Amino acid sequence: MVVNFARPTASIELLKQVFQSIDAQSCPGVFNFHMHTVNSDGRLQPSGLMEQAIAIGLQGLAITDHHSIDGYQAAQAWLEEWKWKNLGATAPHLWSGVEVNANLLEIEVHILAYAFDPENPSMQPYLQRKATIGKEYEAANVIAAIHQAGGLAVLAHPARYKRSLFDLIPAAVEYGIDGVEAFYAYKNPNPWKPCTVESEQVQQLAIEYDLFNTCGTDTHGLNLLQRL
């Protein structure tokens, strides 16, 4: 699928179009929807992350710091200045993003939020640099808050948890999850490559439940092309 970034499409609709095009070759050279900066547990400054994104030639990306959008906001400001200084140059599309801890089937999972309104009151409990407790910690309420803010909710790395992805994904579907991180390098290979077996399993469930597939390197180090 060819994604037309020049068309004046609403941010959320553009992201849906991109997610429909994601495959095993999309990351890390075309898109990357899971990255961390110094604003949570990563090592990259937002400016350094954006410099790498442009050097790599990414078409679109999201910074998904844990419970914080400070990195996203700094990167957005940097990108706007870069575009002003480089008029006519091709710039990647940067969506809002955050990674939220949540309780699903009595274990902790991570839910990625994308293209949400950072000012929406529903998201404020999840942007305080720490995990929530009580009702706000429940996956159903996290997903509902993301939707109230106009965003998409994605279950991060479904095969990394203490319960099977065959239990977790259907449970997340019950609460309205929009997508799953289908392409993920669980064994941290170099070069980055999504794990074949887990990716196929997640994709099959995505087809069964009509979910978006996403991908990301989950970068915590200094290289967007690696997890660590």
For residues 58-69, average pLDDT: 98
pLDDT, position 12: 95
What DSSP line would sit under the chain, residue for residue? ----TTS---HHHHHHHHHHH--TTSTTTTEE--B--TTTT-S--HHHHHHHHHHHT-SEEE---BT--HHHHHHHHHHHHHHHHTTT----EEE-EEEEEEEETTEEEEEEEES--TT-GGGGGGSSSS---GGGGBHHHHHHHHHHTT-EEEE--TTSSSS-HHHHHHHHHHTT--EEEEE--TT--SS----HHHHHHHHHHHHHHT-EEEE---B-SS-TTS--
The structure's pTM equals 0.95
186 pLDDT tier (thresholds 50, 70, 90):
very high
Spell out the domain ranges in the chain.
Answer: 11-215
Q: What is the pLDDT of residue 141?
A: 98
Q: What is the mean pLDDT of residues 151-158?
A: 98
Is it the case that residue 8 has pLDDT exceeding 60?
no
**What band does 7 get if pLDDT is binned at 50, 70 and 90?**
very low
Residue 3, pLDDT score: 54
**Using 50, 70 and 90 to split pLDDT, how confident is the model at 77?**
very high
| CATH number for domain 11-215, candidates 3.10.450.50, 1.10.390.10, 3.20.20.140, 3.40.640.10 | 3.20.20.140
